[in-house]
Amino acid sequence: MTMTRTLPAIVLLLAAIPLTAQGQSPETSATREAVARAVQHVAPSVVRIETTTGMERIGRVRKGLGPSTGTIVGADGWIVSSSFNLAHRPAGIIVSLADGRKFPARVVAQDDTRKLTLLNVDASGLPVPTPAPKDAIASGAWAIALGKVWSNTEPSISVGIVSAVDRLDGRAIQTDAKISPTNYGGPLVDIEGRVLGVLVPLSPGGDSVEAGLEWYDSGIGFAISFEEILSRLDRFQKDELKRGYLGVAFGGKNRLAELGPISRVAWHSPIASLGVQRGDRILAINGKTIERYGHLVQALRPLYANDVVTLTVERDGKRQTHEVPLAAKLPVYERPYAGVLVDHAKTGVRVRGVVPGSPAEAAGLRAGDVIGEVKTSDSEEPSSNSQAKKPSGKPPSNSPLDKGEQKDGPLDKGEQKDGPLDKGENRKDKGEPNDVVTLAKVFDDVQPGGKVELTVDREGKTLAVPLTLGRFPLALPEEVPSTPLAPGEWELKSSEAERDAAWSYAPKTAVKEPLGVLFTFRASDDPTAKELAERWKPVLEKHRLLLAGIGPKAKRWQRSDLERASTLLEDLEKRFPINRDRVIVVGRTNSGAVAEAFVNANRRRVGGLVLLDGGRLSSPETHPDEKLAYWIGWSTDNPKKSGFEQAAQRLRKAKHPVLGGERTTTAKTYPPADERQRIGRWSELIGAL
């Protein structure tokens, strides 16, 4: 194709298109010819893509099998297109060049943050268009969108302007030209015939491959900087381009709000390896000051996995700067299980019981053993029926339990470079001894399938006990060792005028060893507080549990009720040593949703959630500092029982420990004695290491 042969045809085509741009006069032949020359300059680099078979739907969108467009990015057969064009996973791909030649193509890699697909054909000497410098692209400039859907000889043309740059958190150029599947994958060209970017559907409201289709021909379209694509082409040719994750979360996602302290550091994330922890503040990324949540998103969203960012973090007025590689995927934490019930000893951790059938029993641990030290080794791959994988990081090779967790020294004043932050305690375990917490943290690092070696004192003899950690049981053991509370007087205490509004049932005498808490949110048909205390007392005494409950102040649950519940739990935490892993919140029928909301808002204070025929059954992320186990029960007469079964499966897939199952009673029946006893045994199980 030559300019002299095709320019008149393009000019005739442009005659039917209104040309407008900020500060420029429309309808001039000079402008039309300039646009035609720009199109002619790039047209040889625009290809037509045809596919055979494939999926009929992509998400909720019905995908046709018609032609689409691609843009040449490398002379030796490299072509990019919109990922939407090939998301139906075609069996075959044929690329037609502007000179009429056709080649089979193969998919090489995907860019999932900018929704691009890289193709390769067995050809050489292909024309690569000139990129427009990204820094020189300005709002109001001409923008010409090209596609090759209707014809392989002449491109389709839509003319507009550059509406904005650095849109969608710095990933895209915005244009008001009409963008649709007609030109997805094609180039967006400036008036000089340079390629501004490659057209793709994108949306701030979603990250799926079809997100942005709702703006079909609306005057809102996006293109990925062509200069940026070429700068990453070598990397794109070798591997998938994945979104990069730092591994931190914050209390809110209001882009205009001031960025608060870190609320969560993801387990085994890049930033966790630096010792960054909950409560620290991010001040800058790559030299750019971060003041608002929106600044953080704009700094990180354009980046890819393995990109290295310079991070400035502050703790207690002291700053550190680190180089951090972003992760393609954050490891999913799965709670390890040994089946060891422990008490605190003067030195080390005393085993008070071993769960039957557990890894600890298989290793030969016994009640009365005192664990003084744990050595870790590289985790082995779990058995074939397991989905867990080894964590990427390695825990310390020796962790002396008799000294508690070792922490790095405090930061020096002022700016430091590359030194680890001092590691404060991330998790708040009131009443739980340091040695027990340390042992749990070592197990968390090793994960299921990994091996540790315990140094055990047994009746004055020192033994080395190898232990392979397992997964939380899928069935409740018939017997779980328990240490009952000493006989004594109990007190039903109300913190409000109406006893059933907010109450607790606990021993009058002081207790030294950590206790669990059964915290109930009152359903409309629950028994009174006094009746509940009488029904639960045998379970409470046997399994070292306190009982507390709260009802709504009004006819329906309000946000203020969550605050009242938090105050009631705080009162128990002040009065008794509490094992956070055994703080269990109970909701049934119409109190299930509020019980679940309370747990989600207090993950660092609650270790178990019992939902009986109620709840929304969301699936939060797992985290070693926010361990959460579920007991989900549904009755045979519950019309939504299939939803509960599916929710239990979904939670297990997300690596949460889940027990329970179908109940033998109706939904309106309060848990009978045998069900209460099972929940009591489960409370011991979730408190085990």
* 593 and 669 inside one domain: yes
Give the helix/strand (H/E) hosting 575: helix 559-575
Angle CA 455–460–464, to nearest 5: 20
* 285 and 219 inside one domain: no
pLDDT digits (tens, 9 = 90+) for 660-681: 999 988 888 999 999 999 999 9
pLDDT confidence of residue 344: 64
Give the pLDDT band (50/70/90) at residue 392. Answer: very low
CA distance 315 to 280: 5
Count the domains in the chain.
4
* 211 and 358 inside one domain: no
Give the pLDDT band (50/70/90) at residue 377. Answer: low
pLDDT confidence of residue 273: 83
* 422 and 320 inside one domain: no
pLDDT digits (tens, 9 = 90+) for 456-492: 999 999 999 999 999 999 999 999 999 898 888 899 9
* 203 and 90 inside one domain: yes
pLDDT confidence of residue 156: 92
- Assess contact for 155 and 146: CB atoms under 8 A: yes
- Amino acid at position 607, single letter: G
Give the pLDDT band (50/70/90) at residue 345. Answer: low
- Assess contact for 569 and 583: CB atoms under 8 A: yes
CA proximity to 380, closest of 450, 468, 447: 450
* 496 and 640 inside one domain: yes
pLDDT confidence of residue 554: 86
* 86 and 20 inside one domain: yes
The reply to whether 243 falls in a domain is no
The reply to whether 345 falls in a domain is yes
CA distance 285 to 326: 12
Kindly tell me if the per-residue pLDDT of 312 is higher than 60. Answer: yes
Q: Which domain holds residue 587?
A: 490-686
* 515 and 594 inside one domain: yes
pLDDT confidence of residue 209: 74
- Assess contact for 319 and 415: CB atoms under 8 A: yes
* 505 and 636 inside one domain: yes
* 197 and 277 inside one domain: no
Q: Mean per-residue pLDDT for 198-226?
A: 85
- Assess contact for 552 and 522: CB atoms under 8 A: yes
* 570 and 673 inside one domain: yes
Kindly tell me if the per-residue pLDDT of 387 is higher than 90. Answer: no
pLDDT confidence of residue 431: 40
Task: Please identify, among 238, 263, 282, the residue that sits at the C-terminal boundary of a domain.
Answer: 238
Q: Mean per-residue pLDDT for 508-534?
A: 91
The reply to whether 477 falls in a domain is no
pLDDT confidence of residue 165: 95
- Those residues whose C-beta lies under 8 Å from the C-beta of residue 236, and which sit 6 or more positions away, are 108, 109, 111, 118, 229
* 440 and 300 inside one domain: no
Give the pLDDT band (50/70/90) at residue 635. Answer: very high
Identify the CATH number of the domain in which residue 310 sits.
Answer: 2.30.42.10
pLDDT digits (tens, 9 = 90+) for 578-631: 999 999 999 999 999 999 999 999 998 999 999 999 988 888 888 888 899 999
CA proximity to 145, closest of 208, 93, 69, 209: 69
Kindly tell me if the per-residue pLDDT of 368 is higher than 70. Answer: yes
pLDDT digits (tens, 9 = 90+) for 399-444: 333 333 323 322 232 333 333 333 333 333 344 446 787 888 888 8
